[in-house]
C-alpha cells in the first residue's frame, strides 16, 4: 500500500528565504505483539516531527504480509484514524524525513521498500548520510541489484536494495555483510515480516536508543519518543552494533569496532530539549552553554530575550549568569513552518514576521541581548535585528550558543554549502556589521564541548572546526545519486548534481 502522491515539492522555510540548519530525520521501530503498533509508531513519529517535516511513513507487518504507507507532509497530515486502522500487525517502523540526500518527492519518502531474493518484504528507515554512495551505486549496478526502487534517488533506497539482494541468506546475515561496506552516518531501523532490526554506524554520529514496553521493545532516534509512547529507556544502541528483535527476544552483535564521534550539533539545535544523549540532558547542556556564553561574551544590557524555541534554554542560562533579567520579547507562531501553499510575494517579503513577532511594550526603550542557536547565512538575524529596532529597541546585542558554523555537514544535516556559510568568509566583526547588531558574540568551541560533558575525542565537530571524522570521497552532495543516474542515461556529466568534496570544502 502507498499513500497518494503529493505534488513532489514543499516550499522553503518562510524565514526571509534563509534556510537554516535543517534537521536530520527521525526513525522509530516497535515490536509489540498485542499492541496497536501503528498508533505507537504514529505518536513516536509525532514526538520526532522536529527532525523532519517533509514526509512521513509507516511500515507494518502481521507476520505474513507487510504494508507501507507514506506521503509528503507532516505526520498529522499523512495519517488519520482510518489509515492507521488499516495498518495492523505486531511490528512496525516509521520515519519522518528532511531530505539530506535526494529531492523532496513521494518516491524518496521513507520507509523504503524492496522484495528480497527470498520473496519476503524489507522496509527501512534511515537517519544520516552515507558518504560512499557513488561507490555503493557502482558496486550495486555491477552486481545487478538495482531496479524496482520506484524512482527513488536516496542512499537509503540504495541501502535497502543492497540488503534485499543478498541471495540464500537471512536479512540478519545480509546486514552483517552489507553494514561494514557503508561509510558515513546511519542510524537505521528496518524490518522483514517477523523481525525488527536496528543498527548504528561505527562512529555513532546520529543518536539511536533502545526502550522497553511492558509487552515489547522500541528503538528510536531520541529518548523523548520513548517517553511519549510509555517506554522505559534501556540503553543507547552502540556504535557498530546490530540488534534484532523477534519472538525469541533481543539479540545483539557487533559488525564493526566502535569509534564514537557523536554529533555535537545535536546538543545545540537538532535534538528536543527533553531528550538525553550519551547520558547528558540536552536542556541542561543548552542552559550551561548560555552560562558560559555570558562569561565569555559579557555585555551591559537591560533584558535577555531568546529566539524561540531553540534559543530559550541558552537565554535562561545567559540571564542567570549575567544577572540581566530574562524576558519574552518575541512571540512565535508555531504553525508556520513548511506548507504546501506558496506565499505571495508581499507575504514573502515580510519574511521573519510570519514566524516571529515582537512584543513592543517589552522591547521599547531597552538594550537587548538576543540569544539564538546559530547563524548560517545571516539573513534571518539581519531581518530580526531590523525588526527589533523598528519595535523600539535601543541596542541589539546578538549572542549565539554555538561557535561559528564554517563547514558543511555531510553526515545528515542539510547546512548550506561552504560558499554560502557567512562565517566561512567573514570574521565576527564582519558578521556583526552584516547583520546590523550592536555587538555579536559566539560561545567558544571549548565552552560548548565542556557544557556537553562529553570528551572532545568522542564528538564530531566538523561543522565548527573542519575535522571530518569519516573521510570524504571526491564526489559528495545531496543530489549525487540523481547526477549519477542522469549520467548513466547520457543526459549530463556524472558530477553535475553532486559536487566535488574539494570544492565544497575549499571554495572561499
Percent share of the chain, pLDDT over 90: 70
pLDDT the model gives residue 168 = 84
Q: Tens digit of pLDDT for each residue in 11-60?
A: 233 333 444 555 569 999 999 999 999 999 999 999 999 998 889 999 99
Q: Is 297 annotated as a binding residue?
A: no
Bridge-based pairing of strands 367-372 and 303-306 is parallel
Alpha-carbon distance of 497 to 395, in angstroms, equals: 44
Least confident of 144-153, 195-204, 276-285, 497-506: 497-506
Q: What is the CA radius of gyration of the chain?
A: 23
Dump pLDDT digits (tens) for 87-111: 999 999 999 987 655 555 777 889 9
Residue 229 has pLDDT above 80, yes or no: yes
Size of the chain in residues: 508
pLDDT digits over 364-412, tens only? 999 999 999 999 989 889 999 999 999 999 999 999 999 999 999 999 8
Averaged pLDDT score across all residues of the chain: 86
If you average pLDDT over residues 241-256, what whole number do you get?
97
Distance CA 231, CA 225 (A): 8
Structural domains of the chain, with CATH: 26-260 (3.60.20.10), 281-452 (3.40.50.2020), 458-500 (no CATH)
Burial of 427 by CB count in 10 Å (0-12 exposed, 13-18 middle, 19+ buried)?
exposed
CA gap 456, 489 in Å, rounded: 45
Quick one: pLDDT at residue 4? 37
Q: Tens of pLDDT along 71-92?
A: 999 999 999 999 999 999 999 9
| 168 annotated among ligand-binding-site residues | no
**Global confidence as pTM:** 0.87
Q: Taking residues 324-342, what's their average pLDDT?
A: 76
SS3 content of the chain, % helix, strand, coil (to 5): 35, 25, 45
Active site residue 25: yes
DSSP classification of residue 325: P
Alpha carbon distance, N-terminus to C-terminus of the chain:
47
Reported as a single tens digit per residue, the pLDDT across 479-502 is 444 444 444 444 443 333 332 333
Give the pLDDT of residue 151.
58
List, for residues 170-188, the tens digit of each pLDDT value.
999 999 999 999 999 999 9
If one compares 420 and 191, the residue with the highest pLDDT of the two is 191
Please identify which of the residues 25, 47, 282, 449 carries the catalytic annotation: 25
Distance, in Å, from the CA atom of 284 to the CA atom of 320, rounded to the nearest integer, reads: 13
Name the band, by pLDDT with cuts 50, 70 and 90, for residue 139.
confident
Query: For residues 196 and 124, what is the distance between their CA atoms, to the nearest angstrom?
Result: 10
pLDDT (tens digit per residue) in 433-472 = 999 999 999 999 999 999 999 999 999 999 999 999 999 9
**In this structure, are strands 209-213 and 121-127 parallel, antiparallel, or unpaired?**
unpaired
With b for 16 or more beta-carbon neighbours within 10 A and e for fewer, the 225-240 pattern comes to bbbbbebeeeebbbbb
Amino acid at each position: 500500500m502507498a499513500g497518494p502522491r503529493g505534488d513532489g515539492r514543499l516550499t522553503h522555510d518562510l524565514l526571509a528565504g534563509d534556510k537554516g540548519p535543517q534537521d536530520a530525520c527521525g526513525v522509530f521501530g516497535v515490536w509489540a505483539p498485542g499492541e496497536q503498533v501503528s498508533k505507537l509508531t504514529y505518536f513516536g513519529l509525532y514526538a520526532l516531527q522536529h527532525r523532519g517535516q517533509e514526509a512521513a511513513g509507516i511500515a507494518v507487518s502481521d507476520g505474513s504480509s507487510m504494508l507501507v504507507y507514506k506521503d509528503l507532509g507532516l505526520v498529522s497530515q499523512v495519517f488519520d484514524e482510518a489509515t492507521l486502522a488499516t495498518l495492523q500487525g505486531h511490528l512496525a517502523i516509521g520515519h519522518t524525513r528532511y531530505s539530506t540526500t535526494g529531492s523532496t518527492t513521494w518516491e524518496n519518502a521513507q520507509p523504503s521498500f524492496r522484495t528480497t531474493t527470498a520473496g519476503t518484504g524489507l522496509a527501512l528507515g534511515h537517519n544520516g548520510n552515507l558518504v560512499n554512495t557513488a561507490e555503493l551505486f557502482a558496486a550495486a549496478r555491477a552486481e545487478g541489484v538495482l531496479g524496482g526502487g520506484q524512482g527513488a534517488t536516496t542512499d537509503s533506497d540504495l541501502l535497502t536494495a543492497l540488503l534485499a539482494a543478498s541471495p540464500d541468506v537471512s536479512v540478519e546475515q545480509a546486514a552483517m555483510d552489507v553494514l561494514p561496506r557503508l561509510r558515513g552516518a546511519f542510524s537505521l531501523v528496518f524490518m522483514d515480516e517477523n523481525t525488527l532490526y536496528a543498527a548504528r554506524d561505527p562512529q555513532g554520529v546520529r543518536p539511536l536508543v533502545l526502550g522497553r514496553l511492558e509487552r515489547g521493545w522500541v528503538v528510536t532516534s531520541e529518548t523523548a519518543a520513548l517517553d511519549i509512547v510509555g517506554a522505559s529507556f534501556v540503553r543507547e544502541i552502540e556504535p557498530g552494533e546490530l540488534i534484532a528483535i523477534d519472538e525469541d527476544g533481543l539479540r545483539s552483535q557487533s559488525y564493526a569496532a566502535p569509534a564514537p564521534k557523536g554529533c555535537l550539533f545535536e546538543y545545540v539545535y537538532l535534538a528536543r530539549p527533553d531528550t538525553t544523549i550519551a547520558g547528558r540532558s540536552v536542556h541542561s547542556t543548552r542552559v550551561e552553554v548560555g552560562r558560559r556564553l555570558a562569561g565569555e561574551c559579557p555585555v551591559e544590557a537591560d533584558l535577555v530575550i531568546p529566539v524561540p524555541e531553540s534559543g530559550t534554554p541558552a537565554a535562561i542560562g545567559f540571564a542567570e549568569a549575567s544577572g540581566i533579567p530574562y524576558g519574552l520579547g518575541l512571540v512565535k507562531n508555531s504553525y508556520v513552518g513548511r506548507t504546501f501553499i506558496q506565499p505571495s510575494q508581499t507575504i514573502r517579503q515580510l519574511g521573519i514576521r510570519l514566524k516571529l513577532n515582537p512584543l513592543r511594550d517589552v522591547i521599547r526603550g531597552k538594550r537587548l541581548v538576543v540569544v539564538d542557536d546559530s547563524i548560517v547565512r545571516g539573513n534571518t538575524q539581519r531581518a530580526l535585528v531590523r525588526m527589533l529596532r523598528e519595535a523600539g529597541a535601543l541596542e541589539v546585542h546578538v549572542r549565539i550558543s554555538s561557535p561559528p558554523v564554517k563547514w558543511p555537514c555531510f553526515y545528515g544535516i542539510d547546512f548550506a554549502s561552504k560558499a554560502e556559510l557567512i562565517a566561512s568568509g567573514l570574521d565576527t566583526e564582519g558578521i556583526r556589521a552584516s547583520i546590523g547588531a550592536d555587538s555579536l558574540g559566539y560561545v567558544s568551541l571549548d565552552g560548548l564541548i565542556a557544557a556537553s560533558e562529553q570528551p572532545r575525542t568522542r564528538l564530531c565537530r566538523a561543522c565548527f572546526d573542519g575535522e571530518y571524522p569519516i573521510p570524504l570521497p571526491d564526489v559528495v552532495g545531496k543530489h549525487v545519486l540523481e547526477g549519477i543516474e542522469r549520467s548513466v542515461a547520457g543526459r549530463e556529466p556524472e558530477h553535475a548534481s553532486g559536487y566535488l568534496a574539494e570544492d565544497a570544502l575549499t571554495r572561499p
